Amino acid sequence: MSKARLRIAGGAVYDPANGTEGAVRDVCIEDGRIVAELPREAPKLDARGMVVMPGGVDIHSHIAGSSVNHGRRLLPEEHAADPAPAPRLADPDATPRSGTGGTIPSSFTTGYRYAGLGYTTAMEAAVAPLAARHAHCELDDTPIIDAGLFALLGNDDYLLRQIAAGEAARARDYAAWVLSAAGGYAIKIVNPGGVERWKAGGRNVTGLDDAVGTDAVTPRRILETLADAATALELPHPVHIHCNNLGQAGNAATTLETMRALAGRRAHFTHLQFHSYGGERGKSWKSAAKEVIEHVNAHPEVSADVGQVMFGPATTLTADAPVEYLLHASSGKRWVNVDIELETGCGIVPYSYKEQAAVAALQWAIGLELFLLAQDPWRVVLSTDHPNGGSFLSYPELIRLLMDRGYRDERLKQVNQKLVAGSALADGLAREYTLSEIAIVTRAGPARLLGLSDKGHLGVGADADVTIYANDPDRAKMFATPRHVIKGGVVVVEEGQLRRAPTGRRLRVQPGYDRAVTRDLKLWFDGHACVAFENYPAVELGA
Amino acid sequence: MTRRTVEHATCLGCGCACDDIAVVVDGDRIAEARNSCPLGRAWFADGSVPRETRSSGKTVAPDVALADAAKLLGRAERPLVYLAPDISCETQRAAVAVADRLGALLDSPTAEVAAGILASQRRGRAGATLGEIRQRADLVVFWGVDPADRYPRYASRYAVDPTGLQAPDGRHSRRVVAVDVGPSRGAADADERVAITPEDEVDALAFMRAVVLGRVTGDGTVARAATGLATQMMRARYVALVHDAEPSPHGLLHHPDRAEALIALAQALNGPARCALSSLRAGGNRSGADAVATWQTGFPFAVDFAPGYPCYRPHAGAAVLLGRGEIDVALLVGSPAGVPPAVAAALGQVTTIAIGPRVSAAPFRPKVAIDTGVAGIHEGGIAFRMDDVPLPLRPALSGPSVAADVVRALAARLTKGQS
């Protein structure tokens, strides 16, 4: 099938960014983009009776780079249990690749499986700039999907020094330089200050005003500095924040305080479920989803992805190394810790969320509460923080939970009731997501939050990333097996089979900065770093 | 020709991957590799490499060699693809693709450090990049290794001498303990030495862990030494526990449980203190082979593609299958000099295609040999430091052929042959 032209004919189109909600119309593609019209003789794909949406966009996922690969190396038994033979591709010159799955699939299998799920864009959400070169290599071996990476900042020594010295402008220039050098797309903050304290002496921060090395540096100052930098640099996506105190009972207070600290500034709060716990540390757990989501609802400058927990195997994998230490200490499970010089950390613990475990059931319920109580689907979008809350392959099941109240209520009855009793979910949340709302939380919303103006919609000029589903009343089945997926105008999935695997594009930003910062950085590298300043950038920097 | 200098070159002479080398080139030879250690100087040497392309002992055109290689591999019943050192990650990626296409067994010198990898797959690990050890460590324990021998700049660049955030006075901010395990001596420049016999090594590590976990105190010589050392480690702020993951230079076999005991101790020390286990690895981008295999297949070494997908065969890798006579054709990519002796000897017994630096001079006499440059001297790309930090390569000279290009050309022929 030619890449040049294709008419997707007669499907029910869900293109919420352009106000289309199930209208039956044709979608026309030419040279990888959506066009208004095509000549009558253009090739046709019969989509009658089917649902047509833009390709899925994953705003937060861990799919490539040094931490992900440490996790992969840790899971030989998962890989052995989930072999993935090479797909049979239509192009005889193509080199289809075999691989393995599990919660952290091999790179080629990751690309194939995302595409097979109807996703055409994914963001790798946590890359140490020092190891960005590695992440790019893996993304080069992850076919089909367009991908970007978020550069980890907020525990890096150079930044903390600038904050301590009150050098906000230099901090901003540095953020721009490091984002460019990493070939990154957005600034990611993970447990601001907490990872540095873990490396300095095995402790974490507990709140926004704890001193990090010096009283002049606190999580609050780090958050403000980087949020302001992202705004000043006019980045397409605001700061992407993993708050302090992840996974702790009572952490909703920290989450809300963080939101208030950044009031008026644009900010994206990631895997909000892991930050919406009430109760008291070491004593009790309960849902605080309602308080947290009400704040989000009332503040249009705030956005979030949910980080839903799904029952089954997961691998917890984060730069928030002190959290993984605690998880290891309490669970006794395998544990990887890697302290990353002058920048960040890495912690990994394979995990399983069990329906009969009280806390896992509560986490599951809190994620659903966030979804069901969110008033604006454009600002509260879908993620499982793959593979932390579960694999991206569990998205179809999650979609069914959102769309089908009967199913959801049945599932709720099967989980441990100890902590979910009295939650909003247990009291009965009637809401059922519509197909249009699903299209928002899985493509249109994430694309808009990421500032990807050519993605997440089917308007003229958009990237021709399109997913076509059979309109199955079993929504899990429908979303697990799209009939056709088109990426950049190429039909990659045909009649449910992966048939083509083009190379995806890399999404990156190159914000401007005052070059004077590089002189200071060079001095700092010479004095402190173990990699030459000249060898640090993962991608060519403009002159 | 005039002299020119390539600054910030990365040396792959050992796993330290020092990236501060200034390579001075005079004509088509390296005159000097400034800042490098003796190992690095030997690795760069004058940069000359053979430039042969041979098939069945005769010099042939590259196309002929590739066609012969493709034919041999296409007919192979049980092929092996072996990732030897001195190739970039780009070449490794292309070679794993060939193994996938052929349904071959894929292996590399990573198999030499299998005990440590298998232990880390059972337990995880507590580690740090080398620069973080520089920043934090106030206690450095060299466990049966003096890095001066095989990792000459480890002490001056990372663990001991340089200043760091929490070691403002460099060496003077740190305490260094050398643990001598039989003939495997710890660092010469130590504030304290502890001697343990190889027979007692694993027991001592287990005992130290038990002390750290607060479960025992002991009498007896080993117990006293172990208790003293464990107590010191618990009282430190950040311990770097340094050991050599590579096979012993003394020909001693490490106890099979040693790697796991080291990991377990390092993990247990996180709690009372912070601790990173630093596992020393040799050079030539060996760590890259394990990283690339992991991301492309899910497994770090000994990956069998025969069933049509990657299977992990850590106990039936290249050495075992060659030894059993199961392999009929081998594709070696990289430097023959870096191939473990048992594998190198066995390669002489099978049909071998070799692509890499100095393969035309390989003692096992490959059927097809295509000389390429050395990654980092003649070829660019990416290589991994022993701690998985990726570094760029800055070639000072141009080589005979680029290994990644040759492997990709071979892959293209194999694809064409099958369609």
- Interface-testing mutation among B118, B235, B309, with chain A (most A C-beta atoms within 10 A): B309
Q: How far apart are the C-alpha atoms of A319 and A156, rounded to whole Å?
A: 12
**pLDDT tens sequence across B29-48:** 999 999 999 999 999 999 99
- A26 occurs within a structural domain: no
The beta-carbon neighbor of B382 closest among A92, A107, A137 is A137
* pLDDT computed for residue A457 by the predictor: 98
* pLDDT computed for residue A2 by the predictor: 46
Q: How far apart are the C-alpha atoms of B57 and B50, rounded to whole Å?
A: 15
CB within 8 Å of chain B, chain A residues 258-317: none
Angle at A51 between CA A50 and CA A55, to 5 degrees: 130
Domain B50-110+284-418 has CATH 3.40.50.740: yes
CB–CB contact A72 B309 (8 Å)? no
Task: Return the number of CB contacts < 8 Å for A and B.
Answer: 199
Backbone angles phi, psi at B84, to 5 degrees: -85, 170
CB–CB contact B308 A85 (8 Å)? yes
Is the ipTM beyond the 0.90 threshold?
yes
- A459 occurs within a structural domain: yes
Collect the ranges in chain A with pLDDT lower than 70.
1-3, 543
3-class DSSP assignment, residue A5 = strand
Q: How far apart are the C-alpha atoms of A185 and A128, rounded to whole Å?
A: 13
The dihedral formed by the CA atoms of B36, B38, B39 and B43, expressed in degrees to the nearest 10:
70
Nearest-by-CA chain A residue for B408: A95
3-state secondary structure B242-292: EEECCCCCCCCCCCCCHHHHHHHHHHHHECCEEEEEEEECECCCHHHHHHH
Residue B129 contacts residue A341 (beta carbons within 8 Å): yes
DSSP assignment of B130-156: HHHHHHH-SEEEEES--HHHHSTTHII
Residue B306 contacts residue B138 (beta carbons within 8 Å): no
CB–CB contact B310 A130 (8 Å)? no
- A450 occurs within a structural domain: yes
Q: How far apart are the C-alpha atoms of B246 and B385, rounded to whole Å?
A: 15
- A78 occurs within a structural domain: yes
Chain B residues lying within 8 Å of A83, measured CB to CB: 307, 309-311
* pLDDT computed for residue A160 by the predictor: 98
* pLDDT computed for residue B223 by the predictor: 87
Q: Say which DSSP state A504 is in.
A: P
CATH topology of domain B127-269: Dimethylsulfoxide Reductase; domain 2 (3.40.228)
Residue B318 contacts residue B301 (beta carbons within 8 Å): no
How large is the average pLDDT for residues B293-314?
98
- CB proximity A237 to B under 8 Å: no
How large is the average pLDDT for residues B190-219?
92
* Number of neighbouring beta carbons within 10 Å of residue B250: 10
Q: Say which DSSP state A394 is in.
A: G
- CB proximity B280 to A under 8 Å: no
CB within 8 Å of chain A, chain B residues 15-74: 19-20
Q: How far apart are the C-alpha atoms of A495 and A45, rounded to whole Å?
A: 11
- Interface-testing mutation among A67, A72, A73, with chain B (most B C-beta atoms within 10 A): A73
* pLDDT computed for residue B45 by the predictor: 98
Q: How far apart are the C-alpha atoms of B11 and B40, rounded to whole Å?
A: 6
Residue B93 contacts residue B296 (beta carbons within 8 Å): yes
Counting beta carbons within 10 angstroms of the beta carbon of residue A298, is it exposed (0 to 12), middle (13 to 18) or buried (19 or more)? Answer: exposed
Q: How far apart are the C-alpha atoms of B335 and B356, rounded to whole Å?
A: 6
For residue B419, is pLDDT > 50? no
Residue predicted with more confidence, A21 or B419: A21
For residue B156, is pLDDT > 70? yes
Contacts of residue A514, Cβ cutoff 8 Å, sequence gap at least 6: A169, A173
* pLDDT computed for residue B216 by the predictor: 81
Chain A residues lying within 8 Å of B7, measured CB to CB: 534
* pLDDT computed for residue B417 by the predictor: 61
**Domain span holding position A382:** 53-507
Number of domains chain A contains: 1
**pLDDT tens sequence across A364-390:** 999 999 999 999 999 999 999 999 999
CB within 8 Å of chain A, chain B residues 400-419: 411, 415-416, 419
- A1 occurs within a structural domain: no
Nearest-by-CA chain A residue for B7: A534
CB–CB contact B305 A98 (8 Å)? yes
* pLDDT computed for residue B2 by the predictor: 83
The beta-carbon neighbor of A80 closest among B166, B238, B311 is B311
Instruction: Please tell me chain B's helix, strand, coil percentages from 3-state DSSP, rounded to the nearest 5.
Output: 40, 25, 35
**A240 strand-pairing partners:** A188, A268
How large is the average pLDDT for residues B41-60?
98
**pLDDT tens sequence across A250-309:** 999 999 999 999 999 999 999 999 999 999 998 999 999 999 999 999 999 999 999 999
* pLDDT computed for residue A543 by the predictor: 54
CB–CB contact A108 B296 (8 Å)? yes
Contacts of residue B76, Cβ cutoff 8 Å, sequence gap at least 6: B102, B104, B328, B329, B351
The beta-carbon neighbor of B297 closest among A85, A99, A131 is A99
Chain B residues lying within 8 Å of A104, measured CB to CB: 298
CB–CB contact B134 A108 (8 Å)? no
DSSP assignment of B349-381: TSEEEEEETTGGG-TT--SEEEE---BTTTB-E
Average per-residue pLDDT in chain B? 96
* Number of neighbouring beta carbons within 10 Å of residue B57: 10
- CB proximity A359 to B under 8 Å: no
Confidence of residue B221 (pLDDT cuts 50, 70, 90): confident
- CB proximity A369 to B under 8 Å: no
- A258 occurs within a structural domain: yes
> For residue A311, what are its two tokens?
């029952």
CB within 8 Å of chain A, chain B residues 305-334: 305, 307-312
Q: How far apart are the C-alpha atoms of A133 and B285, rounded to whole Å?
A: 15
Nearest-by-CA chain A residue for B119: A74
Nearest-by-CA chain A residue for B97: A97
Counting beta carbons within 10 angstroms of the beta carbon of residue B203, is it exposed (0 to 12), middle (13 to 18) or buried (19 or more)? Answer: middle
- A41 occurs within a structural domain: no
Q: Considering the entire predicted model, what is its pTM?
A: 0.97
**Shortest distance, CA A127 to any CA of chain B (angstroms):** 12
Confidence of residue B1 (pLDDT cuts 50, 70, 90): low
**pLDDT tens sequence across B325-375:** 999 999 999 999 999 999 999 999 999 999 999 999 999 999 999 999 999
**Shortest distance, CA B378 to any CA of chain A (angstroms):** 17
* pLDDT computed for residue A30 by the predictor: 97
CATH number for A347: 3.20.20
Chain B residues lying within 8 Å of A529, measured CB to CB: 131
Nearest-by-CA chain A residue for B122: A334
For residue B264, is pLDDT > 90? yes
In one letter, which amino acid is B172?
Answer: H
The beta-carbon neighbor of B135 closest among A95, A99, A341 is A341
- CB proximity A329 to B under 8 Å: yes
- A33 occurs within a structural domain: no
Domain boundaries, chain B: 50-110+284-418, 127-269
Chain B residues lying within 8 Å of A342, measured CB to CB: 131-132, 135, 165
3-class DSSP assignment, residue A488 = coil
* pLDDT computed for residue B418 by the predictor: 53
- Interface-testing mutation among A337, A346, A522, A533, with chain B (most B C-beta atoms within 10 A): A337
- CB proximity B173 to A under 8 Å: no
3-state secondary structure A453-471: CCCCCCCCCCECCEEEEEC
